[in-house]
Structure formats: C-alpha cells, structure tokens
C-alpha cells in the first residue's frame, strides 16, 4: 500500500506517468497497475487518464492529502528505527532560495561535525518551489522567506534578516555613493533575478514604493550569473547584504546600502509540521535554533 501511495504522490507531482515511473524506479505499466490496484481497493477513480495524465479526480485530491501524511509517517518511522539501530545517518535533503545560499554552510558544517554519517543534498529553488517540494515529500527541509508570503502549515525557525545592497563598480551610475535610495536605484540599468523569485518581487515592491516601474536589462535565476556580470564592470544588481559579502565585493566592486525605505525580510528554516519529527530533521531544527541564538548571522 505504501508503494502505491508513493506512486500516486509522484504522478500528481510530475503530471506524467513516464516521468513518475522513472523517479519511482519502476516501469510505466507497473506504476499504472499499482495506481489501478489502489483505485480498486478504495472503490473510486483517482486519476483522470487515457494514454496520458489529465489530473486527479476530486476523490484523488483527497486521497493525495492522506497519501502524503501516511507516506511521510512511514518514512519517519523507518528512519527512527534505523537511527535507534545505527545512529543518525542517511541523506538530508534541503532546498534553499538563491539569495540564502550564503548561510547554508553555517548549518551544515556544525551538523556534520556532530553527525558525521549524514550526507547532504542541497538544491537551489524559488520560495514557491521550496514549499511545493516540502509538501510533496521531495525534501526534508527548506530555507526561505518567513514573513513575506504565506507559508502554509510548516514548522519555522527564524535565522536572519535579509537587507539589501546595490552591487556595482566605482565609476558606474551611483557607484561612488556611500548610500542610495530605492528610488535612485530604480532609475539605473539593473540585472536582477527572474520574476518567479520572491527576492525579485520584494525588490519590485521596494522600488515601486520609491520610484518608477522596474525594467531590468538582464534577468536570470542564477545569482552567480548576476555577480559575474557586475564583475565585468558595466552592470549593477541588487543582492542581500550577507550574500554580497559571501561572494566578495573587493575594489573595484562596491556594495552600497540601499535606504529609504529601510527594508528587512526574515529568512529561516522551514520543516514539516509533523509529530514525531524525523530524527534527521529534528537534529537540523536543533542546529538552526542554536545558530539563531548564537547571533552568528547578525540581524
């Protein structure tokens, strides 16, 4: 039954029988037969399909919610039993918004020192993707914004506040200033993250509150690409203060505080709101709380 429920979760997430079968490590006929057996045992149609996936039925949507709970609990049980037998081990999967990538090592490094048999998989994702992956049991935890857009039912640990800098080079527009306003930043050519990123939506609101509508000359979902363009000497971008410091702002680069309005958005750990908490995640939550209490990440 657990395997069949996992088939349903994966099909709903991937919206494709072939991709779901590949991720589940089975053939497509095996996956289809498993879902059919699940439908037969429940006495309802769960998936609208012909030769392709056409979404879940109303009953399928309700079963999907139960499937996520049951599969999540089953995984937690297996991991807790394994931890009792072998100690904390296995792979911890974390999704992180691009602008928070600079703080991940502050969590994973002390975690690894305490639990050397744990491996990590860290992927970059938008804030929306982080929550979707958490809901679909694709990750164990995420690092994202906590106070800007709805999070749903998750456990949270605040870590730091994201404040913003204009990253540019001396000699560029505003490049010789000690501080700049959002209105001024909105009037120069910028390269920014793509609109699907919450950081971009925050920047648009802040610039909209103090100046003209935003029209970047380059968009990317990669902060590395934005930073590389700025290093070429002809571009400017907006980055969180901590990320700009992590990536480096040595001359001729300049990291300039943006003021009026002053802005800070809370970044933190999100994990499933489930009891009991799986051991890998419980240890991560503990590490996040210790990091927050230490003040190592600043405001």
Distances (CA, A) of 227 to 134, 166, 223: 29, 11, 6
Per-residue pLDDT 10s for the chain (299 aa) are 899 999 999 998 888 889 999 989 999 999 999 999 999 999 999 998 766 788 899 999 999 989 988 888 888 888 788 888 888 999 999 999 998 998 999 999 999 999 999 999 999 999 999 999 998 888 999 999 998 677 888 999 999 998 999 999 988 999 999 999 998 998 899 999 999 899 999 998 888 854 556 789 999 999 999 999 999 988 999 999 988 888 888 888 999 999 988 888 999 999 998 877 889 999 999 999 999 999 888 75
Return the closest-CA partner of residue 277 out of 87, 70, 72: 72
Residues 6+ apart with CB under 8 A from 255: 165, 166, 167, 239, 241, 244, 245, 249
- Helix, strand, coil abundance in the chain, percent, nearest 5: 45, 25, 30
């Amino acid at each position: 039954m657990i395997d069949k429920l996992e088939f349903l979760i994966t099909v709903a997430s991937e919206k494709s029988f072939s991709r779901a079968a590949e991720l589940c490590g089975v053939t497509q006929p095996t996956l289809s037969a498993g879902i059919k057996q699940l439908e037969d045992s429940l006495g309802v149609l769960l998936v609208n399909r012909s030769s392709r996936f056409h979404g879940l039925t109303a009953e399928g949507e309700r079963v999907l919610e139960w499937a996520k709970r049951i599969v999540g609990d089953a995984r937690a049980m297996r991991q807790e039993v394994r931890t009792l037998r072998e100690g904390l081990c296995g792979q911890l999967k974390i999704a992180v918004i691009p602008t928070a990538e600079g703080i991940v090592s502050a969590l994973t490094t002390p975690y690894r020192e305490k639990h050397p048999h744990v491996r990590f998989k860290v992927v970059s994702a938008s804030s929306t993707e982080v929550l979707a992956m958490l809901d679909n049991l694709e990750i164990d935890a995420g690092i994202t914004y906590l106070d800007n857009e709805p999070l749903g039912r998750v456990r949270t640990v605040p870590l730091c506040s994201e404040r913003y800098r204009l990253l540019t080079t001396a000699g560029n527009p505003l490049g010789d200033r000690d501080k700049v306003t959002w209105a001024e930043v909105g009037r120069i050519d910028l390269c920014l993250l793509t609109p699907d990123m919450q950081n971009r939506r925050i920047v648009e609101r802040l610039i909209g509150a103090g100046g003209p509508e935003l029209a970047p000359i380059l968009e990317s979902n990669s902060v590395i690409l934005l930073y590389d363009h700025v290093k070429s000497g002809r571009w400017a971008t907006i980055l969180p203060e901590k990320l700009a410091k992590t990536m480096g702002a040595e001359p001729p680069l300049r990291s300039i505080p943006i003021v009026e309005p002053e802005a800070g958005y809370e970044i933190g750990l999100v994990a499933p709101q489930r009891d009991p908490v799986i051991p890998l995640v419980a240890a991560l939550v503990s590490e996040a709380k210790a990091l927050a209490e230490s003040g190592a990440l600043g405001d």
